[in-house]
Amino acid sequence: MFYINVGHDHQLQADMGSGKGIILLPVHHHAERIVRDHSFDCASFLLDPQMYLASLDRSDCSKACGRLSSYPWFAVPDVPELEEGMTLATWHTQLEKNAKENWPGQSPPVERAVALCTQALSFQASLGCSYLILPSPLLTDIADDGILLAHWIDAGLRASQECGLEVPVLATIPVDESILTDTFFAPYGFLDAIVDQVTARDGIHGTYILVNQSNALHPFRMPQSVARAYIELVRRLASAGQEQILVNFADVLGAVCLGVGASGFASGESQSRRRLSLKGLIDVAMARRFPRYYSHATISEFYPETDLDKIVERGLLRQVSDPSPYSRRLLEALAAGRSASEIGSWAENVSNDHTSRRHFLFRLIQAEDELSREATSSSRLTSIRNWLEDATMRRLYIDTRLEGETLKGDAAPTEDWVRLLD
């Protein structure tokens, strides 16, 4: 199943239809908003407790820390209450001010794990989540964090039992890029230790995998070690008998993970919801956003005018064409020899990315739906491998025809992904 990481735009879920899942991320919603607005028409509904963000620096990420502090499992002291007559905007300003002074900036002590897990799981259960995601701090130390993960999994299972919750639980595996060395992947190394910690415990119905990247890059610029971690974690968990394996923040690579055992993957319509990077949550002025046309056929994103005009001029539109309800007018105009600048929703203007974001999500939903129809895991893997190889060949052909001209957009490292699968 494909899941959408929903941000502030709740209309997004309605636009994408009901046949997919929804994941709410506390870093983008304070608790009261989720309580008020959590009703969605979707196949599956989850809330990620995001305990792995507990180490955020309050001096750099006060907005994010303010939102997170509204959730009791982050154990922030002196959190202001939402008083009668107070607007949510005023409350959030107070949350942010308090977080600047009181946000701990570190993972809670394991001695409090059961109590904090109880709060996180009870909150999810009250919303009617399809699965309960167990909280876990970010894994940043190969020497100690295998035991740390075990403590938090045990605390989550105990909390679920003591509360009498009957909703199936997913164990969170939040890995930091800094530990993705050869030692991490070595036989009987940390990766195997993680798998053992999860699969050795009764009561876990699946896993929720994510990797924090050191730099807030475009999702297609994911380091190879991060891609390898996603694929290897999924493969080994699936080999150990895990049936529910949900991958988040891997973006399009999540679809590749379906070929090695993942049951679902999640992404979003913005950079901060497509990949995870603590650096991407730093308080900065809003970045200048431009529309980008996603081509699933080449696993690339192109600027509608700067790139696509060159592609059309060389007669290459067929190589990147990916029709959707959101791209149809653009493709029709390009086929007729017109520029994207003539299509208002695709003109290369600042913040004019509403339509391009929806096109991207629609194509991922469509791709996941097509892969889910494959009768066997072997045929699914073959389809994914063919898709990656075809995308590589299409891009090589495009590069040849461009005769040295460069494109401004980004392309996924499909050759690396094929090698990882092999």
Please check whether residue 25 is in contact with residue 5, taking contact to mean a CB–CB distance below 8 angstroms: yes
| Pick from 244, 126, 217, 223: nearest CA to 180 | 223
Both tokens assigned to 335: 């086929």
Extended beta strands in 224-353, E state: 244-248, 264-267, 293-295, 300-302
Domain spans in the chain, listed from the N-terminal domain onward: 2-281, 293-421
Check residue 397 and give its pLDDT.
97
Check residue 13 and give its pLDDT.
64
Check residue 9 and give its pLDDT.
63
Check residue 83 and give its pLDDT.
85
Question: What SS3 class is residue 141?
Answer: coil
Q: What architecture is domain 2-281?
A: Alpha-Beta Barrel (3.20)
**Helices 414-421 and 224-239, interaxial angle, to 10°?**
30
Q: What's the pTM value of the predicted model, to 2 decimals?
A: 0.95
Check residue 120 and give its pLDDT.
98
Q: What is the DSSP string of 353-392?
A: -HHHHHHHHHHHHHHHHHHHT-SSHHHHHHHHHHHHHHHH
Report the C-alpha gap between 20 and 68 in whole angstroms: 26
Which parts of the chain register pLDDT below 70?
8-14, 17-19, 145, 285-287
Check residue 6 and give its pLDDT.
87
Please check whether residue 365 is in contact with residue 15, taking contact to mean a CB–CB distance below 8 angstroms: no
Check residue 33 and give its pLDDT.
87
Going from the C-alpha of 256 to that of each of 61, 145, 194, 234, 383, the distances in angstroms are 32, 27, 21, 10, 10
Radius of gyration in angstroms for the set of CA atoms belonging to the chain, rounded to a whole number: 22
Q: How far apart are the first and last CA of the chain?
A: 24
Check residue 375 and give its pLDDT.
84
Report the C-alpha gap between 198 and 408 in whole angstroms: 42
